[in-house]
Structures are given as structure tokens and as C-alpha cells.
Amino acid sequence: MKKVYLSVLALAFMGISKVQAQTPQMGPNLLGAKGTFSAPFVQPRQRPSSYSSNYCVVSGNNAVSPADNIGKKLDQLSSSDPGVPKSGYTYVYKKDGLVPEFTYTLIRIIGQGSLSGGMGNCIKGDWRGQDATGDNGWFMAVNGAPNNTQSPIFYRIEDIDVCPGTEYQFSAKVINLLPGDSPAAGEGSEPNISFVIKGNDGSIDTIARSGAVAYHNIPEWVTVGGAYTAGTSVTKVTLEVVNSTAVASGNDLGLDDISFNVLESSIGLSGDLNPMCVDASAVVNFTVNDVTETNSWYKWQVSTNGGTTFTDSTAPAQATFSNGSYTLTLTVANLQESMNGRIYRLVAGTSPSSFGNPNCSKYVQNFAVRVNACGPTPVDLMNFNGRYNNGQVSLDWQTAQEFNSDKFEIYRSENGQNFALVGSVKSAGYSGDVKSYSFVDGNPGSSQYVYYKLKQIDLDGKFIYTNVVKVAVGGLKASLQAYPNPFSTHFTASFSANKTADATITLRNSIGQPVMVRTLKVTKGNNTVDISNLPPLTPGVYYATIHNDDINYNIKLQKQ
């Protein structure tokens, strides 16, 4: 006799009878690199063949003149290309180019510290600021002119596809580039900008205002945000960043991380999700909660390859809302072991065409089928991590629950292929609580890296192996290593740190959009962390960043 488990992927719970709908979250930035001023959209401005000291594209002079510090210009407002950002201001790149008003540039760093205790860049020596994104990109530095005598449009991007009735979240980062200890930093001269959406139906909405961006001795980025709901006949919009002041003196600002995101939400899942035996039926309810009552269209999908691809199992259909929600029931009959790993999904949107459009809001919920032996659930391993310090490797792992468990055996390898037993740890046997385990390998060898895996053995002799973790043991490594790379369902990150602190790991796709952000517990010395429970990822190139105030590591990964 076998039992089937329905695993709620969105929350990583198993055997839970009810799961509440998640808090709405933002989808990918529809502007991508065009809003973060990063590659591939922005490219470095190259040194001209007739180079002279007047050009600020010179690289490597000091901390505020790094390589490729100046980026190429945006299009003019008169450009006929609707798909790229434009500006009504004049682009500059030469020495003191930003001294006149009504000018802008794209730059990685323009200065650091205060006016009295820092240093500036040759393009505008008294400004302070650097890229807010932290992706080695650029930001837009602007010397604002009075909006009643010059074009007020710092930035414009046209023809953004939207879906009628869909809600979008907008945000941007703004900085007052003039330090507060500057004699020119007078009250009333602060930059003040607005963000405007123009629909193809003639509508105009101011969706956010910065207000007066305050002076600080060391300038600080602030986030400005707002919401926009597309009208019933709006299919395209134009986003403009507009100067809202007639001030001439001051009004010196930077723009970065301009984003326009679809508001996404998950669907509530309920029903009898407790273990079920083979040949039984699973009956699962999906509840779409939508206060706007616009996501009435839905369809069912299924994946037989672990979520890599989904195919439609039904044609789009339309549901009827009742007080902001509707519930649909899916029945999976005659459950078999061959369904192991199969994922069923409900997708809801504003129209049948919205399902194939990433610019449209979507409500998505998954559940997966997993077959296991009938009776209580076996060992559920939560994590497995390793770190090197003072000549020894410390391994630790946790289990969420255990049944019929005897022990863990620890295996070590110097090449990731041939493993040998190095120790064992007795397990709890039977437990419904979180249990923590550890093992210290006092002789990890002299290779640059060492690999470990666990063998979990039941009382009846059955066993399974865990994922492999890769630990750097050749001293502190000022780099980030990932294993395996290419990866499939998980990877381990190995890196060094000078102190114990929390860090953030961000995984971005090939166009710079974050697809995963997590907090890591980092210890002083070499760290190896297993990055599992990844969100659904399509095969391709990804970039991982681990950073805090001590470390900033980046690595390119390949998803199989």
C-alpha cells in the first residue's frame, strides 16, 4: 500500500489541511534594464579617438572614476523609437559637463562622502552619489532646470503594454546629489519630481510624487512608490518622470531603479491534503480572492517534468465572483505512483489573452503529487550546511519530522565523485518536532575543496542520500563558488567572510530581474550554504549575489 502526498509548492508545506492566500506580491519589472540603467540596455561610453583631458570617460583615476564610469546617452524626446527611454534634457560626458542646468548623464559613481570630507568626479565635483541598484550599472544624474522655461521631462518610456483592469505597482529611487554641507544647499531648492502615467485612451494620472527630497551631508537614496490601475480601454501607457519645481539653484538629483510591476497574488488552497493511498482521488479547492473582481478568467495546467514546463489541460473559462472571490474544485482520480512529481496548477487572469502576456496580472497556485509508503511520513530533511574554520569542517542539518529513523552516516569526497564514510550520528527515530544535528570533521584533507553528503538510514535498513555540499578548505577565498554549476534543483554556495552577520543572497535572471531573495546566516571564515527550494526557473543563465556590509560576491550560474 502506498500513500500520495499533495505538496503545496508556494509555501513548501506538506500534509496541511488549509493554506491561506498569500499577500499580493509584485511580478517582474516590466522595464527591466531600461529602468535600472544597467546592461544590456546601457553600455559604457568609450573614450573618443580624439581624446583630451576634457573627457570624463577617463577610467581608473580613483574611487570615483572607475572603469566605464560614464554610460551612453538616452534617446531624445523627438526619437521615433517608442520602446526605449528618452529624455528632454541634454546629455553630457565632458569635464564640468553637469555644471550648466538642463543637463544629465548616466554614471556609476559621481562622488562619495560629504562635501568637506569626500571626493567628487570631474563631471561635477561637488555632487555625491553612486548606483543604487548594486549591480555595477549606472544611474541618471540630472542638473534640473526650471520647469517653466525648459522641458520638465527627465525620463520617458512609451508603449508599455498593459491589460485593462489590471493593477500595477510603480517605484523609483531618488537622491538629492548636493551634500547638505554645500553652501548651495538652501531651503526651498530641493529637487521635487512627479511620476505620470498617460494611457492610450487619453487619460493622465500622477501616480507618485517625491515631495522635496531633503539634503543630507552624505546624500541618501529614497524610494518613491505608487499604484496604477489600467482603465477598461487602456492597452498601452507612457511613463514619465517629471520635474515639479521652477527652482534654478539646487534641484540636483539622481534617478535609479525605475520599475513598473504587475501586481500578482497567489490563490488560496484548501481541501483534504492529508496523505492519500494509491487508487484514491484528490479533491482540492482553489479560491481566487480579488477585490477588483477583474481576474475572472482561468484555466488548469499540468507539468510532468517537475515544473519546468506546463501544458494546458483545459481551455480558458470564465468564473463568477461573489463578494470578491470564487472557488474552483479540481479532482485528480485514480492516483498512482507514476504521478510522482506531477504538478497541477490553476492560473487566473483578466482575459484569455492575458495568460500569454507577462504584462498582465496573474493569480497562480500549484500543488504537486508525491508518492511515499503508507503510514507516518519518513524523515523530512530541512537543510544541510557546512563551513570550514581553524582546520576543521563543521556540518549541521535539521529535520522537520522523523519516522522509523536509525542514524545518519556522513560521507566525504575530495573530487565530488568518490565518497568514503567518515562518521555517523544517531537520529531521533520518531519525532514530529524540528531536530538539529551536527558533525565535526577534524581531518578534511588538504584539497582546495571537500564534498559531503548524508546517508539517512531507517531502522529497517532502507536509506536515501542527501544533496552534496561543497566546502572550501584551502584558507579564506575572496570569491564565491557554486556547486553544481550548471545546476538543476539546487546549488551550494561557498564563500568567505570576515565576521559573523546576516547577508542577503539575490538570484537574478539574464535581464537582471530578481527571481529569489533570501537572508543567510553567515559565520566568520569559510561558509557553504545549500540553496534549495528554489522558485520555478526556466533553463538559462542566472546571476547570484551575496552581500552585506562586509562581503559582496557575484557569480554566473547556468540552470539546466
- Convert the pLDDT of each residue in 322-343 to its tens digit: 988 899 988 877 777 677 667 8
Residues 37 and 154 occupy one common structural domain: yes
**CATH number of the domain to which 171 belongs:** 2.60.120
Residue 172 in any domain: the answer is yes
Alpha carbon distance 163, 348 (integer Å): 13
Residue 283 in any domain: the answer is yes
Residue 24 in any domain: the answer is no
**Least confident among 123-127, 213-217, 244-248, 385-389:** 385-389
Q: Place 158 in a pLDDT band, splitting at 50, 70 and 90.
A: very high
Is 546's pLDDT higher than 70? yes
Q: Which of 323, 346, 372 is the last residue of a domain?
A: 372
- The larger pLDDT score, comparing residue 271 to residue 425, is at 425
pLDDT number for residue 10: 31
**CATH number of the domain to which 341 belongs:** 2.60.40
Residues 224 and 166 occupy one common structural domain: yes
Residues 388 and 488 occupy one common structural domain: no
Residue 244 phi, psi dihedral angles, 5° rounding: -110, 25
The total number of structural domains in the chain stands at 4
Residues 157 and 79 occupy one common structural domain: yes
The residues near 396 (Cβ < 8 Å, ≥ 6 apart) are 384, 385, 386, 436, 437, 438, 439
Number of H helices, E strands in the chain: 1, 44
Residues 134 and 238 occupy one common structural domain: yes
- The larger pLDDT score, comparing residue 554 to residue 108, is at 108
Residue 54 in any domain: the answer is yes
Is 517's pLDDT higher than 50? yes
Q: Which of 226, 241, 263 is the last residue of a domain?
A: 263
Residues 121 and 58 occupy one common structural domain: yes
Residues 9 and 135 occupy one common structural domain: no
Residue 318 in any domain: the answer is yes
Q: What is the percent of the chain with per-residue pLDDT over 90, rounded to a whole number? A: 34
Q: Which of 451, 475, 499 is the last residue of a domain?
A: 475
Residues 196 and 321 occupy one common structural domain: no
Residue 470 in any domain: the answer is yes
Residues 391 and 486 occupy one common structural domain: no
Domain extent, residue 141, equals 29-263
* Rounded (5°) CA angle 244-102-144: 35
Residues 470 and 480 occupy one common structural domain: no
Chain centroid to CA 440: 34
Q: In what order do the strands lie in the sheet with 540-547?
A: 514-522, 501-508, 540-547, 552-559
